[in-house]
Amino acid sequence: MTQARLDGEKLTAWLNSVPHGDYRQILAAILEACLVPVTTLDNWRKGKCRIPELHKAKINEIAQRQVF
């Protein structure tokens, strides 16, 4: 399995654990912090492209835990 696929599974697993009421705010925070369009976030979740290390760090900050 590729690294992009593994990271996508980790990101999806964490997003699935986010409470329903906070989900949209979390997605918006990731998009704003990483300065990426929604399509890129979708590609990350599906494992179609790798998540840069800088963006992984920002997602970990938003999650307030170690996602990657």
Q: Examine residue 12 and state whether it is found in any structural domain, yes or no.
A: yes
d(CA 34, CA 44): 12
Give how many domains the chain has, as a whole number: 1
Tell me, what's the pLDDT at 1? 77
Q: Examine residue 54 and state whether it is found in any structural domain, yes or no.
A: yes
Q: Examine residue 19 and state whether it is found in any structural domain, yes or no.
A: yes
Q: Examine residue 68 and state whether it is found in any structural domain, yes or no.
A: no
Q: Examine residue 58 and state whether it is found in any structural domain, yes or no.
A: yes
pLDDT digits (tens, 9 = 90+) for 8-54: 999 999 999 999 999 999 999 999 999 999 999 999 999 999 999 99
CB–CB of 68/35 below 8 Å? no
Q: Which domain holds residue 39?
A: 3-63
d(CA 25, CA 17): 14
